[in-house]
C-alpha cells in the first residue's frame, strides 16, 4: 500500500499494514485455540477459544475492511480475485478429502475472492459515489443485514427497532454464500453482511489512493506487525497446516512421556 511520495519514492502506509498484521495474527491465534481445543481436546484451547469468541467479528472485520482498502491500491483486482478464489477452492477440496469434518464451504478466503471480483465488476458504479456517503451507506446496510445468516438469527433489520424474519422458503443451500441456507462449514463469512464491511473499506481506500491520509500513517511503529501485514495472505494460507502439525507433535510428545 502506498501513500504520498517522498523524495520521489513511494511510501507504504505502515499504519494500515500494522492493523492488517494485527488482525491476521489475532485470527491465527483464534484458529490455534480452536485446533488445540476441539481437534486435539486440549482444555486450555477450549477455554481461550470461548473467551475470544465474542471479539472475533471485530478483528475479522478489520481484516476485511483493510482488504477493501487494498482494492483501491491494486492494479490487478481481477487477477487477485481469481487467484485467491483458486486457492480457496483448493483448500476446500483438500479439507474435503483429508479432513471432511472440518471442511470450509465459504470461509473468509472464499468471501474475499468473491468480494474482490464483485468490486471489480461494479467499480464504475462505486466510483460515482462520494467516499463519505459510500461509507455511511455501507455502515447502515451492514447493520441492517448483520442478522441475515441463519446462525445469527435469519433476520433483516435492526434488533430493538424493526426486524423482518426471513421466511424458510427463501433459504436454500445454493444461497449459502449469500448468508441464506445452511451447510457444514468450519469457517463461514457470507456476503451478507460482510460485503458491506468490504465495500466500506473500498470507499475509505479512495482517500488512500489519492494520497489524502494523514502523514503519521506512513510511519512504521511496529515492524513485526507491518511485515505480517505485508504477507498476511501467505500467513493465512499456511497457518492452519502449521498449527495442526505443531499440535500433533505436542500430543505425540505428551503421550510418549506419559
Query: CA–CA separation, 198 vs 70, rounded Å?
Result: 10
9 strand-pairing partners: 6
Residue 47 corresponds to which cell in the numbers above? 477455554
Q: Which residue has the higher pLDDT, 227 or 153?
A: 227
Counting runs of H as helices and runs of E as strands, what totals does the chain give? 9, 2
> What is the distance, to the nearest Å, from the Cα of residue 118 to the centroid of all Cα atoms in its chain?
15
Per-residue model confidence as pLDDT tens digits over 160-176? 889 999 988 888 888 99
| End-to-end CA gap in the chain | 50
pLDDT digits (tens, 9 = 90+) for 38-49: 999 999 999 999
- Say whether pLDDT at 37 is over 60: yes
Return d(Cα 5, Cα 11) in angstroms, integer.
6
Q: Which pLDDT score is estimated for 173? A: 83
Q: Taking residues 145-152, what's their average pLDDT?
A: 90
Domain ranges of the chain: 14-257
pLDDT reported for residue 257: 81
What's the whole-number average pLDDT of the chain? 91
- At residue 54 the predicted structure's pLDDT band, cuts being 50, 70 and 90, is very high
Q: What is the mean pLDDT of residues 40-69?
A: 94
Amino acid at each position: 500500500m502506498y501513500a504520498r511520495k517522498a523524495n520521489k519514492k513511494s511510501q507504504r502506509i505502515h499504519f494500515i499494514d500494522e492493523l492488517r498484521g494485527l488482525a491476521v495474527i489475532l485470527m491465527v491465534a483464534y484458529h490455534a485455540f480452536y485446533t488445540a481445543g476441539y481437534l486435539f481436546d486440549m482444555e486450555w484451547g477450549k477455554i481461550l477459544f470461548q473467551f475470544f469468541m465474542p471479539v472475533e467479528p471485530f478483528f475479522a472485520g478489520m481484516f476485511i475492511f483493510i482488504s477493501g482498502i487494498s482494492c483501491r491500491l491494486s492494479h490487478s483486482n481481477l487477477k487477485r480475485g481469481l487467484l485467491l478464489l483458486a486457492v480457496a477452492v483448493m483448500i476446500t477440496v483438500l479439507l474435503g478429502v483429508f479432513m471432511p469434518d472440518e471442511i470450509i464451504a465459504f470461509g473468509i478466503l472464499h468471501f474475499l475472492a468473491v468480494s474482490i471480483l464483485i468490486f471489480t465488476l461494479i467499480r464504475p458504479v462505486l466510483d460515482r459515489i462520494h467516499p463519505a456517503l459510500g461509507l455511511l451507506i455501507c455502515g447502515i446496510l451492514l447493520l441492517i443485514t448483520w442478522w441475515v445468516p441463519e446462525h445469527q438469527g435469519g433476520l433483516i433489520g435492526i434488533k430493538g427497532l424493526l426486524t423482518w424474519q426471513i421466511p424458510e422458503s427463501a433459504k436454500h443451500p445454493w444461497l449459502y454464500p449469500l448468508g441464506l441456507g445452511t451447510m457444514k462449514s468450519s469457517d463461514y463469512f457470507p456476503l451478507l453482511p460482510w460485503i458491506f464491511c468490504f465495500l466500506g473499506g473500498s470507499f475509505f481506500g479512495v482517500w488512500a489512493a489519492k494520497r489524502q491520509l494523514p502523514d503519521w500513517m506512513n510511519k512504521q511503529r511496529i515492524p513485526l506487525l507491518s511485515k505480517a501485514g505485508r504477507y498476511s495472505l501467505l500467513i493465512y494460507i499456511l497457518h492452519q497446516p502449521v498449527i495442526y502439525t505443531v499440535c500433533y507433535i505436542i500430543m505425540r510428545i505428551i503421550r510418549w512421556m506419559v
